Amino acid sequence: MAKEVINLEILGNLAREAGKAILEVYETDFEVERKEDSSPLTLADRRSHQIIAAGLQSQYPQIPVLSEEGKEAPYATRRAWPQFWLVDPLDGTKEFVKRNGEFTVNIALIEGTTPTIGVIYLPVLDRLYVADIRQGCWEIAEGKDRRLQVSGLLPTGAVRVLKSRSHPSPNLEALLEVLPSHESVTRGSALKFCAIATGEADLYPRFGPTWEWDTAAGQAIVTAAGGVMLALNGEPFTYNKPNLVNGPFLVASSLSWLQQSGILDKASELNARS
């Protein structure tokens, strides 16, 4: 079966529609439920999921949808999928509950085990990131399109390291010991990937667990902008695993810098200890 041609504008509009529904809930005194893993769930998560799932199924009926808030397909079924949508309807629900604005809508297309298309939308600022690893990456805000391309140059001065607002890691400081100096850049949700793509940060190390839908759109955006995302052993970071929980990873604007700085070797060492 021939692969369908994906329209990035359609995906961006779908993310915006979901973002509008999210903001409608954001402006109310919403209730917060707890999932089995104790993570928060709100009406905004559900509404965004319904909009995105319905939109994708309408536009691309031949491509399955796997969403954080949808029914999980067993591996025996999805292992045969040549491509599928991987969706986080509201990434950063903890940030949503804190009302700090740093939450996103994430939509990714997985081909085989690789994210090839990614959309991340920041509803509070009406800022959209769209990417196709074969075409490039763009930031769309205030009516303007800006193509994103990392420089690939080695950082000069302090390395700007992304740290999570809600998920601190004891291994992180051990990893950063190999750097002569660094400064922290704090972002919530998938905005950490966007910060690498825009050149606002140099390194995003993650040791704590994430789910595939948390990272797929961000990986596509970083890759399309010329950056890299790797497992701590230096291998490509892949998707549609039997278990949808991710292992630790590194995201950076430059593979050569990861190797020359010693970050990759140190990350591999820490990974082997755990």
Question: Looking at the chain, which residues constitute the CATH 3.30.540.10 domain(s)?
Answer: 8-148
Residue 166 is predicted with a pLDDT of 59
Query: Is 114 a residue whose pLDDT tops 70?
Result: yes
| Enclosing H/E stretch for 245 | strand 245-246
Classify residue 27 as exposed, middle or buried by CB count within 10 Å of its CB (0-12, 13-18, 19+): exposed
Residue 51 is predicted with a pLDDT of 98
Question: In 3-state terms, the chain is what percent helix, strand and coil (to 5)?
Answer: 35, 30, 35
Residues 194-235 pLDDT 10s: 999 999 999 999 988 899 999 999 999 999 999 999 999 999
Question: Looking at the chain, which residues constitute the CATH 3.40.190.80 domain(s)?
Answer: 159-273
Work out whether the CA dihedral 188, 108, 146, 159 comes out positive or negative.
Answer: positive
Residues 27-79 pLDDT 10s: 998 989 988 777 888 899 999 999 999 999 999 999 999 999 998 899 999 99
Q: Are 125 and 95 in contact (CB under 8 A)?
A: no
CA-based R_g, the chain, Å: 18
CA 134 to chain CA mean position, Å: 18
How, if at all, do strands 182-187 and 210-211 pair? unpaired
CATH code, residues 159-273:
3.40.190.80
**CATH pick for 8-148 out of 3.40.605.10, 3.30.540.10, 3.40.50.1820, 3.40.50.2300:** 3.30.540.10
The percent of residues above 90 in pLDDT, for the chain, comes to 70
Residues 245-272 pLDDT 10s: 999 999 999 898 899 889 999 998 888 8
pTM for the full predicted model? 0.94
Rounded distance, CA 227 to CA 257, Å? 11
What average pLDDT is seen over the chain? 92
Residue 188 is predicted with a pLDDT of 86
Rounded distance, CA 257 to CA 1, Å? 40
